[in-house]
């Protein structure tokens, strides 16, 4: 399955390459692409909220290329910046919140839209809200770890997989089986997001043991500089 996923990603990148080249030739900035991409996620979330699940799935699937294009254009045009990375990461959270928020509204309006069984509306609102928290936690734990000088890109649910789960199944199945497919996808996304957050917490705990408990580790154990200074650059004032 991992090899198949890598093959799919490689094929997708080959399809996106000509669009990236066209954007570079036309001097389109990567931050502009990031902004437009985020707006498409907001629109997709709004479509979900109205109950047009299959339409939203196709829309998000077709516009997901913006997630890749901004980075490719930035590298190809030599316009990679620190702010660009910060801006992209920040708007990714807006995009995730918009899509999952749209699904939460859809479930909350189940008495009108009748997309899932009558008893499932409120539990699925709660599940989706947990999904939003879990998704934000996966991003926060990685960002906080990187601030400590630790690369915590671990766990089973990275952003590409999350984008696929939020679009592809809905595009093909919509509200099939009385909404059960959608409910299972949202539940899967929520559970795996929380598992990923826990995996990253455990990973950072293991890496930081050398500084938190030096008596248990040999002298001179390798510790990221930022970890040793509590996440602050030793050359800068706190």
pLDDT digits (tens, 9 = 90+) for 122-177: 999 999 999 999 999 999 999 999 888 888 888 877 777 888 888 889 999 999 99
Collect contacts of 99-102 with beta carbons under 8 A, ≥24 apart. Answer: 99/41, 99/44, 99/45, 99/48, 99/60, 99/166, 100/45, 100/128, 100/131, 100/132, 100/135, 100/166, 101/45, 101/49, 101/132, 102/44, 102/45, 102/46, 102/47, 102/48, 102/49, 102/56
- pLDDT, position 4: 53
Contact, 90 vs 34, CB < 8 A?
no
**Distance in angstroms (rounded) separating the CA atoms of residues 161 and 4:** 13
Contact, 52 vs 107, CB < 8 A?
no
- pLDDT, position 132: 95
Domains parsed from the chain with CATH numbers: 2-213 (1.20.120.1760)
Contact, 35 vs 88, CB < 8 A?
no
Task: Point out the residues of the chain with pLDDT beneath 70.
Answer: 1-13, 215-238
- pLDDT, position 222: 55
Q: What percent of the chain has pLDDT over 90?
A: 51
- pLDDT, position 102: 97
Contact, 201 vs 141, CB < 8 A?
yes
- pLDDT, position 235: 36
Catalytic residue among 67, 70, 88, 92: 92
The token pair at 25 is 């030739």
**Distance in angstroms (rounded) separating the CA atoms of residues 168 and 162:** 10
User: With the CA atoms of 195, 196, 199 and 203 taken in that order, what torsion angle do they form, in degrees rounded to the nearest 10?
Assistant: -170
pTM above 0.75, yes or no: yes
129 CB-near residues (< 8 Å, 6+ apart): 104
- pLDDT, position 55: 96
Residue 67 among the catalytic residues: no
- pLDDT, position 13: 65
Contact, 203 vs 151, CB < 8 A?
no
- pLDDT, position 218: 60
- pLDDT, position 116: 94
DSSP state at residue 178 = G
DSSP state at residue 100 = H
Contact, 108 vs 50, CB < 8 A?
no
DSSP state at residue 118 = G
The token pair at 43 is 């629109």
């Amino acid at each position: 399955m991992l090899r198949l996923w890598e093959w799919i990603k490689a094929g997708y990148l080959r399809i996106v390459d000509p669009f990236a080249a066209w954007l570079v030739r036309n001097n389109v900035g990567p931050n502009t692409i990031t902004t437009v991409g985020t707006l498409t996620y907001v629109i997709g979330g709004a479509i979900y909220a109205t109950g047009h699940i299959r339409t939203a799935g196709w829309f998000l699937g077709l516009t997901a290329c913006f997630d890749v294009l901004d980075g490719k254009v930035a590298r190809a045009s030599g316009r990679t910046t620190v702010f660009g990375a910060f801006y992209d990461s920040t708007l990714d959270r807006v995009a995730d919140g918009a899509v999952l928020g749209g699904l939460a509204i859809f479930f909350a309006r189940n008495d009108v839209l009748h997309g899932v069984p009558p008893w499932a509306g409120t539990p699925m609102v709660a599940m989706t809200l947990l999904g939003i928290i879990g998704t934000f936690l996966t991003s926060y734990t990685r960002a906080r770890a990187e601030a400590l000088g630790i690369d915590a890109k671990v766990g089973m649910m990275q952003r590409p997989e999350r984008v696929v789960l939020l679009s592809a199944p809905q595009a093909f199945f919509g509200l099939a089986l009385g909404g059960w497919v959608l409910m299972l996808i949202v539940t899967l996304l929520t559970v795996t997001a929380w598992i990923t957050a826990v995996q990253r917490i455990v990973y950072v705990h293991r890496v930081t043991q050398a500084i938190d408990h030096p008596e248990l580790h040999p002298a001179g154990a390798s510790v990221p500089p930022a970890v040793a200074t509590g996440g602050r650059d030793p050359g800068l004032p706190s």
